[in-house]
Chains A and B, each alone.
Chain A
Amino acid sequence: MSDIRFTDQHEWVRVDGDIATIGITDYAQEQLGDVVYVELPEIGKTIEAGDEAAVVESVKAASEVYTPVSGEVIDVNSDIEATPAGVNEDAMGDGWFVKLRMSDPAEFEKLMDENAYKEFVEGLH
């Protein structure tokens, strides 16, 4: 079973065993607008929770994507490198950014669940 958590920076993390998949939320892609460029980390790189994991750019601006969990990068989504608009089309699914092998699964448990994130986003309006 996969389980999903969210950050107040509008990243999502989905966990399956010790593998975490990270992306940006639908709210985030909506706020960014058309994604025209994505920069992903090198496979094999170790990153700590809070580190920059990727960069996502719209026509207007560049934004960092921070990893909410620590671990080793085991895969990146080369599809969105080739076709950045994929992030807008399916931010929560095929528009994922990075897969990590988590070094501290407890970090995941501290993040917001779906309901808490929904409430958080509603509070932004």
Chain B
Amino acid sequence: MSEPAVASDKLKTTPLHALHVELGAKMVPFAGYDMPVQYPDGVLAEHLHTRGAAGLFDVSHMGQAFLTGPDHETTARAVEALTPGDIRDLAPGAIRYTLLLNDKGGIRDDLMVTRTLTDGVLFLVVNAACKDADFAHIAANLPSGVALERLEDRALIALQGPKAAEVFARFASEAATQSFMTARDLSVAGVPCMVSRSGYTGEDGYEISIPAKDAAALTKKLLAEPDVKPIGLGARDSLRLEAGLCLYGHDIDETTTPIEAALGWAIGKRRRAEANFPGAKINLDQISNGAPRKRVGLLPEDKAPAREGTEIFAGSNRIGIVTSGGYGPSVGGPIAMGYVDTASAKAGTAVELMVRGKGRAAHVAAMPFVEKHFYRGN
């Protein structure tokens, strides 16, 4: 047995840190923060609870910021200069998943961009591990008149699962009819919050940006609902893997392009025509002529999980590598994603996963591994 990692004492904490400890969480270092990896129920139960009822996640370690310019057009263009997303055409209140790209077309980070109801103001949420670099990069590339304001005094929680809407309506009734990938400023149990109908589990739910001083009290109110349980980073990872969603630094990074990562849908149609985003040349070339490799789902045929770093073979040829892999509690067996040569990327292709020196049968599979349940409105 190997020893558990020793926590550093220089870790940052979120506004919900004391609550995690009070709830009996096992705390681990993650992206510079002391974060709950699981609560006493454990990863398996937390994962299944999220798919069956509602799970509450602390994602306050992620980076939140407002990008403010004189009007939407100007602020949106500032984001479009760094991403391939169609930000100008976002409707007020709409959210878009996009990517910060480097000049080689690789992915610096993935992020959510919300067009707020205030003209000229976009709300950005970026990954915790990348936030300092992202915000420095964005700030360094802004046109005059557009300013980045990091929101250090806000918590961010996610409420996810089939019961999330029903539960949350008790605290903010207007949220019930909010469509997936839209955001509103709402009073949640009297606290002014920015509520996004979004998430990273494959389930319906919300991400709620809360003033730090109100975060613990509001989170406790949500947790007092019988359908809601706190969920740690362990289950967050298995939930997003089942949903086929990328984890930055594992499934996507500076060396992977959106096309290779099967995120080509995040490159807007107008942006393809304009060809003016960072790394446009290589990505457009890969759209036309194909990318050398592609991110795919992988289903092992026996029960052995294939973890990150597992080599993928077709016969004696090494054709790729697993970038995320483990056990999918809702699938009831091992699941993985990784990159393979494009020739082997078709669903159903037989491959071998080299786990502990032994080739194990698997096949390329469509993702997500579980059905998604998003609310698209009535």
Contacts and interface: CB of A to CB of B under 8 A. Distances in A.
A125 to B, nearest CB: 11
A72 interface: no
Nearest to A62: B307
A114 to B, nearest CB: 17
A59 B331 CA distance: 12
Interface string B280-313: 0000000000000000000000011101000000
Interface stretch (A13-21, A26-34, A43-51, A104-112): A26-34
A37 interface: yes
Contacts of B329: 36, 59
User: What's the interface size class on B, roughly?
Assistant: 20 to 34
Interface residues of A, number: 23
A60 B43 contact: yes
A59 B44 contact: yes
Interface in B1-41: 1-2, 4, 37-38
Contacts of A39: 304, 356
Contact of B1 (A9, A36, A37): A9
Q: Is the interface of A mostly helix, strand, loop or mixed?
A: strand
Contacts of B237: 60
B180 interface: no
Contact of B234 (A10, A59, A64): A59
Which has the most chain A C-beta neighbours within 10 Å: B47, B305, B307, B356? B305
Given A28-B1, A59-B327, A36 B42 contact: no
B307 A36 contact: no
Contacts of A65: 1
Contact of A37 (B37, B38, B43, B305): B305
Nearest to B2: A63
A25 B367 CA distance: 37
A57 B1 contact: no
B307 A33 contact: no
A4 interface: no
B2 A64 contact: yes
Contacts of B47: 59
B234 A63 contact: no
B42 A37 contact: no
Given A33-B38, A63-B2, A64-B2, A57 B43 contact: no
A55 B356 contact: yes
B201 interface: no
22 contacts: A9-B2, A10-B1, A11-B1, A28-B1, A32-B1, A33-B38, A34-B45, A36-B329, A37-B303, A37-B327, A39-B304, A58-B43, A59-B47, A59-B234, A59-B235, A59-B238, A59-B327, A63-B1, A63-B2, A64-B2, A65-B1, A66-B1
The 8 tightest CB contacts between A and B, nearest first, are A34-B44, A36-B327, A10-B1, A59-B43, A9-B1, A28-B1, A59-B327, A34-B42
